[in-house]
Amino acid sequence: MIKKIAKWFGGLFFLGVLAVSAFLVNAVYFKPWSIDVFFERVFLKIGSTSPEMLSQIRVLEQFGIDGHNAHLDDISQEEQLRVIEIMKSELAVLRSYDRASLGGQQAISYDVLDHLLSIKAGVERWRYHDYPLNQMSGEQNRLPEFLAEVHQINNIKEADYYLSRLGEVDRKFDQLLDSLKIREEKNILPPRFVIDSVLEEMRGFIAVPAKENILYTSLLERLSKIENLDKQEQDHILSQGELLIETQVYTAYQGLIDYFDTLQLKVVENNGVWALPDGDAYYAYQVRNFTSTDIAPAELHRTGLEEVARIEAEMTEIFASIGRTSGTISERFSALNNDPQFLYEDSDLGRERIIADYQAMIDEIDAGLDDYFDLKPKMGVEVRRVPEFKEQGSAGAYYNPPAMDGSRPGVFYANLRDVYETKKFGMRTLAYHEAVPGHHFQLAIAQELEGVPTFRKMGLFNAYSEGWALYSEKLAKEAGFQENPYDDLGRLQAEMFRAVRLVVDTGIHYKRWSREQAIEYMLEKTGMTETEVTTEIERYMVWPGQALAYKTGMLKILELRERAKEALGSKFDIRQFHNVILTNGALPLAVLEQQVDQWIAVKEG
């Protein structure tokens, strides 16, 4: 009898194994029975091609899967083509499902993924049209920041993974060098200022002794926080790290320096991407990519000019209210820029004060938004200084989202290379944009969503994400957090430079403006310092189209809010409107509009 029962259970177990195996084979290699399984398959397939991205989001660690943390991305030409083929293949599988039979979140996920894969599959033609080494977010500064800020070291195993990644820098940079040489053969070369800036940065990076490099000092700092770590073990890890930095990392950087030295002799101009082969078509692709719309560059340019004129009129009115009526807008802002009441002390203490003040502003608004939101993220946000080795070419601020497993908070990075660039009247707006209720609010809420595929928990659409952050600046004003006229001028100055972006980005890449012409226009219209403006213009030159996302997205969200207000009247609830915007993750603007229109129809009954 016992043998019969054992055989019976054994048979059931065998059938169960067969069923699971059949399910897994179907899910991995064929069209899954369930579209929800397919959505997760797409995320895993694409995510598995980037161990660095997996370390950033930390979604697999909760399942005990962490081997990817030992590796850097494979950026070989063969791997890039393989990833593009995955995009094309998965797009074909997606379109084999019956879209008309889907509803609710499945329908949204289908539309979002269709848009995303269509754009990504189309990148094959343009895969050499970017600048992998650049002053903003090139591999030469992105990789050290990733290793120092994103890669976690909480135990010896993760420290070994870190050493493994240091040992792969030379391989990755060899692949990078191969791709740079292919670009040169195709006459796709960066502007001259990029070469000069990157060379200076890379030389500075390897000029310091290994023990003073951020790759070593950050390792030491993290090891010192591991409880009960044997000193001998710590010293061994540090010794290995120092050796790898000296013999492999620095050598890899020297190879890039040598190559860029040769480029410096060949490149003299600072042109937009129009000067590249098929540059106009490439820019059109970038505009579609970053705005998630089919708006033409000429129309974006016109919209920018209109917004500049409107904001300038509002600025003039506020300046008049505080008795500052002489000079141009730029000259009046220059006077504010030099007013001691808006400046910090140029010292370590002054920089610490800036970080503390940013954090206080974020904490204040986070506690005062109940009338505008009934949903808030669980994860917190910290303010940190941009790592000093990359300050010169970096933007004034940027944000990194939390880890999905809760092990790392959201981080708002403030650039403190020159305290003169941090004006007190502009700080609130920047804090609201980068943290609360801007990027941190939106991205952290998306990561915490339930019932949606993993790919929708990521900030995949610039026009949505940056549009929300810019909208948040205006919302903070409406919520009463910028009643001081100087703070309001800071808000308008920030909105102005997003409007100016529409003008100068299309000016540089579509209308063929020179770098100097774009700098002059931005200086005239924003009143920002020349250092700030130069950094911004050079950013747009290496990241064509991205700067268009902010105003395009903000204007769409405001348009949808006004539409909902007019349609619903007294039924309109700003908190519910924000829920519609935030609880579906990042969306292409057309899909966002569909969701708002559906919500309006339901509310109207």
Please indicate, yes or no, if residue 165 is contained in any of the structural domains: yes
Rounded CA-CA distance 510/242 in Å is 47
At 43-70, the pLDDT tens digits run 999 999 999 999 999 999 999 999 999 9
Model confidence at 8: pLDDT above 80 = no
213/244 same-domain check: yes
The letter for the amino acid at 155 is: N
387/475 same-domain check: yes
Q: Show which of 93, 126, 159 is a domain's final residue.
A: 126
Average pLDDT over residues 566-576: 98
Helices (H), 122-248: 139-145, 156-166, 169-185, 192-207, 214-223, 231-244
- The residues facing 398 across adjacent strands are 413
The letter for the amino acid at 576 is: Q
Total domain count for the chain? 4
Q: Considering the chain, what percentage of its residues have pLDDT values greater than 70? A: 95
337/468 same-domain check: yes
User: 290: closest CA among 499, 459, 430, 42?
Assistant: 459
519/381 same-domain check: yes
Please indicate, yes or no, if residue 588 is contained in any of the structural domains: no
State the chain's mean pLDDT as an integer.
Answer: 94
At 386-410, the pLDDT tens digits run 999 888 878 889 999 999 999 999 9
255/387 same-domain check: no
167/261 same-domain check: yes
Please indicate, yes or no, if residue 14 is contained in any of the structural domains: yes
Model confidence at 78: pLDDT above 50 = yes
Please indicate, yes or no, if residue 563 is contained in any of the structural domains: no
Please indicate, yes or no, if residue 230 is contained in any of the structural domains: yes
Average pLDDT over residues 103-116: 97
Residue 26: what pLDDT? 45
At 461-480, the pLDDT tens digits run 999 999 999 999 999 999 99
In the block, tokens 């904490």 appear at: 363
418/514 same-domain check: yes
Please indicate, yes or no, if residue 561 is contained in any of the structural domains: no
At 269-311, the pLDDT tens digits run 999 999 999 999 999 999 999 999 999 999 999 999 999 999 9
Model confidence at 557: pLDDT above 70 = yes
Model confidence at 483: pLDDT above 60 = yes
Residue 28: what pLDDT? 52
Is the peptide bond preceding residue 437 cis, with omega within 30 degrees of 0? yes
At 161-215, the pLDDT tens digits run 999 999 999 999 999 999 999 999 999 999 999 999 999 999 999 999 999 999 9
Average pLDDT over residues 551-568: 98
Residue 449: what pLDDT? 96
Please indicate, yes or no, if residue 593 is contained in any of the structural domains: no
Model confidence at 1: pLDDT above 70 = no
In the block, tokens 């969306």 appear at: 587
412/552 same-domain check: yes
241/386 same-domain check: no
Rounded CA-CA distance 542/393 in Å is 12
Residue 393: what pLDDT? 76
The DSSP call for residue 150 is I
304/167 same-domain check: no
Please indicate, yes or no, if residue 543 is contained in any of the structural domains: yes
25/35 same-domain check: no
Q: Show which of 269, 301, 325 is a domain's final residue.
A: 269
Residue numbers of the domain that contains 59: 31-126
What is the Rg, in whole angstroms, of the alpha carbon atoms belonging to the chain?
A: 26
Range in 1-5, 188-192, 199-203, 247-251 with the lowest mean pLDDT: 1-5
CA distances from 131 to 72, 235, 339, 479, 603 (A): 19, 39, 39, 41, 48
At 167-182, the pLDDT tens digits run 999 999 999 999 999 9
At 350-367, the pLDDT tens digits run 999 999 999 999 999 999
Residue 20: what pLDDT? 36
Q: Show which of 226, 247, 269 is a domain's final residue.
A: 269
Average pLDDT over residues 127-152: 96
CB 453 within 8 Å of CB 433: no
**CATH number, domain with residue 74:** 1.20.58
48/17 same-domain check: no
Q: How sure is the predictor about 15, in pLDDT bands with cuts at 50, 70 and 90?
A: very low
Rounded CA-CA distance 575/596 in Å is 13
